[in-house]
A = this chain, B = another copy of it.
């Protein structure tokens, strides 16, 4: 095994293709072809290059590859709330749809601050991301970033207000319908809906789905109307007390969020109602820490955010390949059954 002992490589820096090539006694071009399984390389040579690369623990410089390929193998993830419950699952779904091998995720948290967003946007574009996923903190439409960014953009969870853009969101109407459908299947007939901030479009969508499904049974909302206020446990408690006054026959509550549902449960228990025997409760979001810790554990609607992230990544990948889409795509929610609902004896 005679080796020429060419200068191994500069101290402190990772080995380059040149190092591999000279160790294997071939040109850089040949080394490149060998490692990328291109043809026009002899089997023996290929093997020698491989060994050299392994010995040096060579890993190609993605920046250099990006230069010549004119794509960085990177997507930007622009989010409005990093601590929020909603961006994380999306992010996670996106991250593994891309498979980590070909694509990495560059994260930027804009915190709902417009100028910070512009800042981050410039930084991401400067890094020549191949595409952008924008995930909002609220399910409501948000201003478009515009079409002239030079890279494709997909909006997740919060759609863009420009129909020209591509957005993927959870189907809130179907989610509301699904919740009430489940309660009806449990034999409930006196169903109230306690939900959050009336300025959220999602509140109304969920309520609409709920009311539609009720109507199909010839029913209307217990309490007479949707109870809007805020996304808090406190409101869940307060609304429930009101309801118990107005509707002594109440046998189910659809809560617009798991937080509200927790409040509803609390107030029901306090009033001596048994859940789910007397009153069934269903939440929305499937926020694990809330839904599994409650007494009893909470049946809830899961907006399948991770799936949303996956789809967003897929759509973005397509757009990067040139097959751009547009419009808002809605994806179904999923019923997660725990113990706060059950058939009426």
Given A82-B88, A107-B105, A290-B289, answer yes or no on A150-B14 (Cβ-Cβ < 8 Å): yes
Given A13-B70, A88-B82, answer yes or no on A106-B107 (Cβ-Cβ < 8 Å): yes
Mask, A136-151, CB within 8 Å of B = 1, is 0000000000000010
Shortest beta-carbon distance from A215 to chain B in Å: 33
22 A-B interface contacts by CB (under 8 A): A13-B70, A14-B150, A59-B122, A61-B126, A62-B127, A63-B66, A63-B67, A82-B95, A83-B88, A83-B89, A85-B289, A100-B108, A100-B116, A100-B119, A104-B106, A104-B108, A105-B106, A107-B107, A232-B293, A259-B289, A287-B289, A289-B290
Q: Chain B residues with Cβ under 8 A from A67's Cβ?
A: 63-64, 67
* Residue A233 lies at the interface, judged by CB distance under 8 Å to chain B: yes
Shortest beta-carbon distance from A8 to chain B in Å: 15
As for how many copies of this chain the complex holds, the number is 2
Compute how far the CA of A124 lies from the CA of B73 in the bound complex, rounded to whole angstroms: 12
Among B124, B150, B232, contact of A104 (Cβ-Cβ < 8 Å): B124
Q: Chain B residues with Cβ under 8 A from A14's Cβ?
A: 125, 128, 150
Contacting residues of chain A (257-278) with chain B, CB-CB under 8 angstroms: 259, 262-263, 266
Given A67-B63, A105-B106, answer yes or no on A263-B293 (Cβ-Cβ < 8 Å): yes
Contact between chains at A127 and B109 (CB < 8 Å) = no
Compute how far the CA of A268 lies from the CA of B293 in the bound complex, rounded to whole angstroms: 16
Shortest beta-carbon distance from A132 to chain B in Å: 13
Shortest beta-carbon distance from A323 to chain B in Å: 16
- CB-nearest residue of chain B relative to A89? B83
Shortest beta-carbon distance from A178 to chain B in Å: 23
Interface residues on A, range: 35 or more
Among B88, B89, B106, B294, contact of A106 (Cβ-Cβ < 8 Å): B106
* Residue A191 lies at the interface, judged by CB distance under 8 Å to chain B: no
Compute how far the CA of A263 lies from the CA of B237 in the bound complex, rounded to whole angstroms: 17
* Residue A35 lies at the interface, judged by CB distance under 8 Å to chain B: no
Compute how far the CA of A100 lies from the CA of B78 in the bound complex, rounded to whole angstroms: 12
Shortest beta-carbon distance from A107 to chain B in Å: 4
* Residue A91 lies at the interface, judged by CB distance under 8 Å to chain B: yes
Shortest beta-carbon distance from A286 to chain B in Å: 12
Compute how far the CA of A72 lies from the CA of B59 in the bound complex, rounded to whole angstroms: 15
* Residue A101 lies at the interface, judged by CB distance under 8 Å to chain B: yes
Given A63-B67, A123-B100, A289-B289, answer yes or no on A95-B107 (Cβ-Cβ < 8 Å): yes
Q: Chain B residues with Cβ under 8 A from A13's Cβ?
A: 70
Given A234-B293, A259-B293, A293-B262, answer yes or no on A109-B95 (Cβ-Cβ < 8 Å): yes
Contact between chains at A123 and B106 (CB < 8 Å) = no
Q: Chain B residues with Cβ under 8 A from A119's Cβ?
A: 100-101
Q: Chain B residues with Cβ under 8 A from A266's Cβ?
A: 295
Contact between chains at B128 and A63 (CB < 8 Å) = yes
- CB-nearest residue of chain B relative to A93? B82
Beyond A83-B88, A88-B88, A100-B120, 8 extra complex contacts between A and B, CB < 8 Å = A12-B150, A14-B128, A14-B150, A59-B125, A63-B66, A95-B109, A104-B127, A287-B289
Contacting residues of chain A (105-121) with chain B, CB-CB under 8 angstroms: 105-109, 116, 119-120
